[in-house]
Amino acid sequence: MQQKVSKIGVLTSGGDAPGMNAAVRAVVRTGIYYGLEVFGIMRGYTGTIENDIVPMHSRSVANIIQRGGTILKTARCKDFYEYEGRAKAYANLKKIGINGLIIIGGDGSFRGAHTFASEFGMPCIGLPGTIDKDIAGTDFTIGFDTAVNTAIDAIDKIRDTADAHDRLFIIEVMGRDSGYIALHSGIATGAESILIPERKTDIEELVGSLQEKEKRKKLVNLVIVAEGDNFGGAEEVAKVVKERLPNVDTRVCILGHIQRGGSPSCLDRLIASRMGYSAVECLLEGRFNVMVGIVNNRMHYTPLEKAVKAKQKIGDDWLKIIKILAS
């Protein structure tokens, strides 16, 4: 169906994630090793439409493995949602001779790749680059480990000041549709309660738990809230808590985009490098239109169509652990 891949493009799309640069580096150097021409596409799918495409060489990716963000920049491209935009993108890629595309991003980026591959026959490979860890078919997503460790570091510091003043801190972490950052950081920092989008928030249960702790003179408490919690995030939760527990010194802290930045962890550098290398090998082997993941420490390949439909689910065992350890 496809001619042999000889020129490949790599782009980063959607929200940035620590480790994206490591993945780009792996794609470029693996491609060059196998004699391919490699092109970097700037600002995600926008670069394909605006023909913002540059040749990449081994030195192009020197000294980037330790850097957060992405040297290729990233954007969300409305024009790529339209057929006319995708047709223009394909024409630009075809003009250069690019016949294989590697997309580093999340489920929205993969949706675009799946549609693009279906319409124009462009072989596409997806690498899961998202701090939310919300994509099924992989145990890890590029950026999650760094983001959660950044959150843990911040929460540990907040606990110090909470302890000094006997305060309750309600801390909001990222996760509009996924509670994995809240879950992992909350368990790792000994939070009293963790509120996530995957589970409807029982505000009465939370208030009751905090009232019981107040009676026991447990004055230092942490509540971790994912931004996509159905109750409305940390500020809304805090309003109710302050009304119901007026004697508790309650503060809100929203960690925000600090979780996206910073030098990627060892784990993120490793998985990004493995995934980038495997993505090029997929194109060379004729294994097209899949997402490259890691399951049980082995490379795992999920069709893009399935990857955009399935979500990584939080099991009941995690929720049980939270309840037991926070008592």
Instruction: Provide the annotated active-site residues.
Output: 132
In order, the DSSP letters of 10-31 are: EEE-SS--TTHHHHHHHHHHHH
**DSSP labels, 32-97:** HHTT-EEEEETTTHHHHHTT-EEEE-GGGGTT-TT-SS-TT-----SGGGSHHHHHHHHHHHHHHT
The SS3 of residue 189 is: coil
Cβ atoms of 145 and 267 closer than 8 Å: yes
Closest CA to 124 of 302, 268, 311: 302
d(CA 54, CA 28): 12
Q: Concatenate the DSSP letters of all residues of 275-296 into one string.
A: HHHHHHHHHHHT--SEEEEEET
Describe the crossing of helices 180-188 and 144-165 by its angle, rounded to 10 degrees. Answer: 50
Tokens of 23: 């993945």
As given in the structure block, the two tokens for residue 171 are 């801390």
**Which residue(s) pair with 172 in the sheet?**
225, 254
Specify whether the CB–CB gap between 8 and 280 falls below 8 A. Answer: yes
